[in-house]
Structure 1
Amino acid sequence: MNPLFDIQLSKEDNLLKRFEEIHDYIYANDGLSPQQTLEEFVKILFIKIFDENENSNKFTISAEEWNLLKSGKINQSLTERISNLFEHTKQAYTDIFDSDDRIKLTPIALGFTVNKLQNISLLNSSQDAKGLAFQKFLSHHEKDGRGQFFTPEPVIDFCVEMMQPKPDETIIDPACGSGGFLMSALKFLQKNNLELNTSKSVSSHLFGLDINKSIARIAKMKLLLESNGKTNVICTNSLEDLDSIKLSVSQKDGFNIVLTNPPFGAKITNTSTLSKFDLGHKWSNYDKEYHKTKVVYPNQNAEILFIERCIQLLKEGGRMAIVLPNGNFENPSLEYLRYYIKLKTKILAIVNLPQETFIPFGTGVKTSLLFLEKDTPNLNKQYPIFFGRVTKLGYHGNKNGTPLYQKDKYGQTIKDSSGQPILEEDFSVIVEDYKKFQNGNVIESDNAFSINYNELNGRFDFDFYSPENRKLFSNLDNVKTVRLGDICDIVKIKSKKLKDHNSTVEYVELSDINTHSYEIINSTTYQVHELPSRASYELQEGDIITAIAGNSIGTRKHATALVTKDFEGNICTNGFRVLRNFKIDSYYLLYFLKSEVFLKQMFMYRTGAAIPNVSDNDLSNIIIHLPNDNYIDEISKKMMKAFELRQESRNQIESIHLELA
């Protein structure tokens, strides 16, 4: 036998240093992008592990071969040997490699890499050392290459802590990316079960699916380095035939736990796929209940189909944690989705995340976490639901996501008993509150509370049910009130003026309102064909306009104004709603529309992250407090007097201008 191939491999604990040296060399010398460099490195690790498993000892380079490469001479023996190994590796991992995949490294970079790894046994190294090395290595490089695939580690760990997996439970992530949820679940099991058989857990209880082969390789490598055995990370489309997916992972009865962060925003347009999902169909609302129709949507958001698929993957009584954009929790157009969730599951908890959670990972989408238990019979309608809100992430909400540590009053970092800095986070506080809640304790604080299932209406968002808002409505129950939609007309019909494209009109935008004095202070002259598409409603003297769109709705800068004679006939943006034909004193209503009671309701009803808005239905349902007639009359007179004084002020100023003229 060639002595070159008769090598005893040693254990190596300083793997991170070697991994970094290899990555830096490839990146500096081969002209590959960070993403391509990472992909090539992962390929080499698979070849290395295959060589060790087969005990072929062909993952090696001799001094002679290395010297030839350094001198710039062609050396076919190394490239042919490693390429041949790669062909066998691809056959062993057909689900994550294509038959035409090849090694893209230059011979010198390949030689450098093989030399760095040839005397190290990845299979026999300490599990902690090699797993930790690869995790740390990835934390340095994967965000540059594929930031969109990753969920922040604190969010992942929090979901696992909330789910509390047990050693005998099967766990799947159907959008596993680089395996963050699976690795966190494994670490949780190892920490809480000292006798855990890690290889058995990886081979029998952890499952991951991802449509992207490059990223699935990373997840598979993470688990390989933990177990030295069989892994269940498969490259497949999780939205394909359910029975085929269950068969491919040999779990026809489903799973105990689903942990996932599905792709946001991607549209599924394949009619065949959509028709197989309840949520791929349109739903009709009849008598406060939703019913699936035979009409298939032309497209659907991927995360909505993933919700249904995750529920399908669970065993009866199985639990699920999923990261979702806030629109799924609050948008009126998605109420059918929330009805479906209530129909198929028991809602365990809803936890709101800060706006900046995903900014270090490439998106500012506001998200929340939904925790469910599969409950197909759906008979129990009397149970409490936990709500939580995370306000401190433990890292900066900027593109770097650098750790954020607790400080004492002198600005010094606070450390734990082992000398490690303590993160500034409240994930752990929410976990402890949830555990108390599960033990039957009543939880009510600024960032955690519970409500009963029968209090859950068409929305799932934290802010809507916050103790502050519930207290507001409780107080309103004790006084005389009316609905806004019952005491005025809400104009929603576009002006006929907009049909004459050559006519000239005055246009009023949200920014044309003095929010302190309830006044329109400006309008802009346009020809109709020049108007922005949002130009909609014609104003009449005595109307009240109030904002239903924009970042200021429900805040102190909320725009509300009385339409005076100067702005009669103007056209306003559809960011306003026009109130007309009042059944209560209009000056009192104008006053109320700047009150805390009104603003809190508007803020509560806001939906949408990019441009918050309030639906017409929610605007109609705004509760108006009606005090006694004397008090209403007193407020009305003061409001009228204020407008008269402002008009008199303008008249005085105009008279000065006339005198000067």
Structure 2
Amino acid sequence: MSASIAPPVTIRTGTVPEGKVADFLTGRHLRDTPEEYVRQNLEKALVRQYKYDARDCAPEFAVKVGSSRKRVDVVVFLPGATHAQENAFILVETKRAGVSPASRTDGIDQLRSYLAACLNAKYGLWTNGDEQYCLAKRADGAGGFTFEEIIDIPALGQSEEDAQRPQRKDLKPATADNLLFAFRRCHNYIAGTEGKQKPDAFWELLKLIFCKIEDERSRRLDFYATASERASATSAASAKARIQRLFEAKVLAKYGAIFPASDSNIDLKPNVVAFVVSQLQGYSLLASPVDVKGVAYEEIVGSNLRGDRGEFFTPRNACRMAVTMLNPQPNERVIDPACGTGGFLITAMNHALAHIEKEERAQWMDPTRGTDEERQELYRARNEYLSQRVHGMDLNPGLVRAAKMNMVMNNDGSGGLWQANSLANPRTWRDDAPAQVRLGSFDAVVANPPFGANIVIDDEEVMNQYDLAAMWDRRSDGRWEMRVDKHGRRVLQKNQPPEILFIERCVQLLKPGTGRFALVIPNGILNNPALGYVRTWLAANVQVLAVVDMARELFQPKNDTQTSMVLARRLSPDEKAAAAAGHLEYPIFMAIAERVGHDKRGNVVFRRTETGDDVLVTRQELFAEIDPSTGEEVLRSTEVQERQVDDELPDVATAYLRWLGEQR
């Protein structure tokens, strides 16, 4: 079947002409340009992060500057005031990436001139996404103004002092791509200022991100840098000393497996530490949506740690589709034996955690807040799941380390990850692997094994574990038969691609009769006549539940391999006997996903109407934020209107669950 049904969770509410974007504040159709992309992210931040009322904000507002009129990209007015120049409070100038802040026409001086012309305006923000500057306008006592660079503009009702050193109540969950911008700014600043290679800059940035996360779990916030610390190398030393103490006391003590003793110092200059801290201190990373953090983190990881062993990270929409179809439950143990940076595991983990949270909150007197006891019980249930049911392995130690960090940013569960060759004999796996990790013990396996022509497995000790490492002969009746010697032992091939052996290892990890997997498998394995023995082995060992033929663009532009997502359940011994006798028959769900949300260059593709207009959708988005009165995390709901990405993978998952229900 072809999955082209519109997902039922969305509502068509209008169209946007091709090449246009609906303005977040006004809904007006504007040209879709790189500069507009930056502005739309800032507009969302002003409303969702800084809490300004959209009715008090205006894009492209004309102000009088000298004898001419200039359009300010976004103006925030005093609450409830008319949209007039004398009521302007914050001015925002957004530029496309690459525009220099020193530009005579488009740089910070342009913002200064606008601030000077708006007598009552107090703050300004200039950004091209990769760089950001915040200014406070001060009277100079002689009828003029000076401009002081500050850490951040204040949010609604927030004092400037609190904006420079936020308290817990001031922390803001990130929205849209603003966290991605912040991570990118920090990484580029480290690489450019320190002269470090990109991977080294990446690891130092992650140390500071970990400090930020652990600081959010503390009663007293120490992750901050004042404007004077950022401006002065001498003062910056105190900021670095404070963050180094935080790193030693909170991070090293808790994550010794991630940060070895030889890596116990933050290897950055004081002014660099102060800059990075100033870019992150206003966010609540713990309360930021999973997808926002995931997109930001994985882009930085992907540009630094992508290896040469066929490691191509699974797009998040493919992870979500597979996990939705697999539907791992809180009482089920899940593993990814080729976990990379943890994208599949985080998706599966959060799927199960959503079940836990829904069940727990349904028993609360107030589902949005809960009592101390109720929240503690939720924490206990989540922690029990994370500590006992989530596991992952990868051969690349750098990716395992990155995955652990990714897990910590997304609810944790990092204790179940370790570096190992998951194709090797389990007795060779490191001693720190949990004792309960053994073959035949998992309810669910999710994986995108490394694949590619440049990597093969030729270690005889490894290959001896697998039927699929043996020579197979095709008989005259077309059936495949494994070749054995006179002693009944497998006759091995010289080598075998890892993606074939991973299929068998994933089946070995599953509980017989009930365990199920979702695997990304190259289409060649599923349709190449010479690999018919792989399909024969699969038919003898698993019940294939679903095969989803994925569009070629899924891994582009990084990799051009065409793949399918295959779901299957491991057969019990009795079922294997029935399969061998030809008595096992069952239906298989099959789908073709022709569109996966991006083109071969990686550009996002939006769904269009028959007339070629973009489709707008409205949805309810549940997010966490910090209650200013208590400092506690509280769930909120907001209505979000946006263009619909032309992605059929959610449609596939919906169709599969409906089909599965019909089969039962």
Judge same fold: TM > 0.5, yes or no: yes
1:134 aligned to 2:335?
Answer: no
1:258 aligned to 2:445?
Answer: yes
Counterpart contact for 1:178–1:215, Cα < 8 Å: yes
What is the CA–CA distance in structure 2 between the aligned matches of 1:436 and 1:81, rounded to whole Å?
A: 51
More off after superposition, 363-372 vs 419-428 = 419-428
In the TM superposition, what are the counterparts of 1:374-389 in structure 2 within 5 Å? 374-377=570-573, 378-381=576-579, 382-389=584-591
Counterpart contact for 1:10–1:120, Cα < 8 Å: no
Counterpart contact for 2:222–2:242, Cα < 8 Å: no
Secondary structure of the corresponding residue to residue 503 of structure 2: helix
Q: Which residue of 2 aligns with 1:331?
A: 528
Structure 1: stretches of 5+ with no match in the other structure? 1-6, 443-661
Shift of 1:56: 10
User: CA offsets, 1:544-573, max 9 Å, x none?
Assistant: xxxxxxxxxxxxxxxxxxxxxxxxxxxxxx
User: CA offsets, 1:119-176, max 9 Å, x none?
Assistant: 8775xx52xx164542242254344334543112221111112212222111111111
In the TM superposition, what are the counterparts of 1:500-539 in structure 2 within 5 Å? none
In the TM superposition, what are the counterparts of 1:307-326 in structure 2 within 5 Å? 307-316=503-512, 317-326=514-523
Shift of 1:315: 1.2
1:205 aligned to 2:406?
Answer: no
Counterpart contact for 2:548–2:593, Cα < 8 Å: no
In the TM superposition, what are the counterparts of 1:88-167 in structure 2 within 5 Å? 89=251, 92-101=254-263, 103-117=266-280, 125-126=286-287, 129=288, 131-138=290-297, 140-146=299-305, 148-167=311-330
Relative distance call for 1:230 and 1:328 in structure 2 (3 A) is closer
Aligned residues: 429
Root-mean-square deviation over aligned CA pairs: 3.8
Relative distance call for 1:65 and 1:337 in structure 2 (3 A) is same
Shift of 1:112: 2.4
1:188 corresponds to which of 347, 351, 364: 351
1:239 aligned to 2:423?
Answer: yes
1:272 aligned to 2:461?
Answer: yes
Secondary structure of the corresponding residue to residue 267 of structure 1: coil
Shift of 1:20: 4.6
What is the CA–CA distance in structure 2 between the aligned matches of 1:132 and 1:347, rounded to whole Å?
A: 30
Shift of 1:53: 6.6
1:426 corresponds to which of 641, 648, 654: 648
Shift of 1:52: 6.7
Secondary structure of the corresponding residue to residue 259 of structure 1: strand
Counterpart contact for 1:61–1:115, Cα < 8 Å: yes
Counterpart contact for 1:174–1:209, Cα < 8 Å: yes
Bigger helix share: 1
Relative distance call for 1:373 and 1:267 in structure 2 (3 A) is same
Counterpart contact for 1:394–1:405, Cα < 8 Å: no
1:214 corresponds to which of 398, 403, 415: 398
Counterpart code for 2:556: I
In the TM superposition, what are the counterparts of 1:467-506 in structure 2 within 5 Å? none
2:600 corresponds to which of 393, 398, 404: 398
Counterpart code for 1:171: V
Secondary structure of the corresponding residue to residue 553 of structure 2: coil
1:438 aligned to 2:622?
Answer: no
Relative distance call for 1:53 and 1:277 in structure 2 (3 A) is farther
What is the CA–CA distance in structure 2 between the aligned matches of 1:295 and 1:387, rounded to whole Å?
A: 35
What is the CA–CA distance in structure 1 between the aligned matches of 2:449 and 2:293, rounded to whole Å?
A: 24
Structure 2: stretches of 5+ with no match in the other structure? 1-165, 361-377, 485-489, 620-640
Counterpart code for 1:291: M
1:344 corresponds to which of 535, 541, 545: 541
Counterpart contact for 2:229–2:238, Cα < 8 Å: no
| Structure ID, larger Rg | 1
Relative distance call for 1:396 and 1:131 in structure 2 (3 A) is closer
Counterpart code for 2:433: S
Identity level (%): 27
User: CA offsets, 1:363-397, max 9 Å, x none?
Assistant: 10111122111114113443224252434334232
Counterpart code for 1:269: D
Counterpart code for 1:152: P
Relative distance call for 1:63 and 1:409 in structure 2 (3 A) is closer
Q: TM-score, normalised by structure 2?
A: 0.56
1:248 corresponds to which of 418, 429, 433: 433
Counterpart code for 1:141: I
Relative distance call for 1:409 and 1:10 in structure 2 (3 A) is same
What is the CA–CA distance in structure 2 between the aligned matches of 1:170 and 1:345, rounded to whole Å?
A: 19
Shift of 1:358: 1.1
1:302 aligned to 2:504?
Answer: no
Q: Which residue of 2 aligns with 1:82?
A: 244
Counterpart code for 2:522: P
What is the CA–CA distance in structure 2 between the aligned matches of 1:54 and 1:136, rounded to whole Å?
A: 26
Counterpart contact for 1:96–1:234, Cα < 8 Å: no
Counterpart contact for 1:283–1:292, Cα < 8 Å: yes
What is the CA–CA distance in structure 2 between the aligned matches of 1:281 and 1:246, rounded to whole Å?
A: 30
What is the CA–CA distance in structure 1 between the aligned matches of 2:499 and 2:404, rounded to whole Å?
A: 23
